[in-house]
Amino acid sequence: MRVVDVHNHYYPPRYMAALQSGESAVTIRMDADGNPELHYPGDYNTAVPGHRDVAYRETVLEKEGIATQIFSLTTPGTHVETPARAVKYASMVNDEFAKDVQARSPRFAAYATLPLNDPKASVTEFRRAVEQLKFPGAMLFSNVNGVALADERYWPLYEAANELGAVLHIHPTNPINVDAMKQYWLMPLVGFLFDTTVAAAHLVFSGVNERFPRIRWVASHLGGALPYLAERLDRGYEAFPECRANIPKPPSEYLRKWYYDTVNFDPRALELAVKFAGADHILAGSDYPHAIGSIPMMMKALNAMQVPDADRAAIMGGNAVKLYGLG
């Protein structure tokens, strides 16, 4: 059975070197184990070897039985930089991703990184990544320095993605009002999930899904709370005229066409998502190599799901092979 992990993260060494040069809004410090810490407003990430050494990562995948990963840049993203640096670093990351994908295919594929604080440049880089570098799509953060993905300044990007039938994977970043989540790691544990939920709901209610139907959307972390709250969104559609202004059918009908990665390692939660969207819209994801990501836990949860074996095989890799056109 081919296992494809669609949610994991990689910082290319060239990008890390650029950040360490000091030309960045990100501050690099070293932890006690010699791992770089990427400090940025509101949070930081520790770049362990799996984040920054693709050869090390490949040994892990071989050991864990993962055939293919679709890697992406993670927070802070390039949009924390000045627009000019964001364009430079996004292009750099995509070029480095493309080199690793080409050198190690079919082990890896990649999502494009975009300079999202420059919407016009994002369209240009998106087209380059999909048309020239042959990426299946892009990873978008759930907000861009507080600007919603549903904002019309991003609609030219969605026009391009719709034209190309591309994949757009929503990944959380610092939620708005993050000050309320500083204790107990509440921002990544809770805030990230609800920022994904808010972003997806906003995209649906604003009519983005209706207007651009050929985009294949993926929501991280099992969609945050989307499978659980979809019924409530439908009640809002029935109750409030504003919620019907841009869409002719209830939100759940759009959300059932989204894909959801399995970065929630509770089999019962995974089964709820299967009941909501169907097994053909669930994609294996580990969040490797983050501290609360885990390939073994992903595999354990997928194997514990009470679903037919054919559905399990589809979730583990078959759906991703079809969605991303993997050879």
Please state the pTM of the whole predicted model: 0.96
- What pLDDT score does 180 carry? 66
Domain count, the chain: 1
Fill in the DSSP letter of residue 131: I
- What pLDDT score does 192 carry? 82
Residues with Cβ within 8 Å of residue 288, at least 6 apart in sequence = 5, 8, 9, 50, 57, 60, 69, 294, 295
What CATH number has the domain bearing residue 69?
3.20.20.140
**Which tokens hold the place of 38?**
């990427």
d(CA 216, CA 283): 13
d(CA 250, CA 234): 5
Domain around 255: 4-324
Beta-strand (E) ranges in the chain?
A: 4-9, 27-30, 36-40, 43-46, 68-72, 108-110, 137-141, 143-144, 147-148, 167-171, 216-219, 259-261, 282-283
Average pLDDT by stretches of 10, the chain with 327 residues: 96 96 91 94 90 97 98 96 97 98 96 98 98 98 95 98 98 79 77 90 98 98 96 96 97 98 98 98 98 97 98 98 94
**Which tokens hold the place of 48?**
């362990």
State which amino acid sits at residue 231: E
Question: Is the C-alpha dihedral spanning 51, 273, 159, 102 positive or negative?
Answer: positive
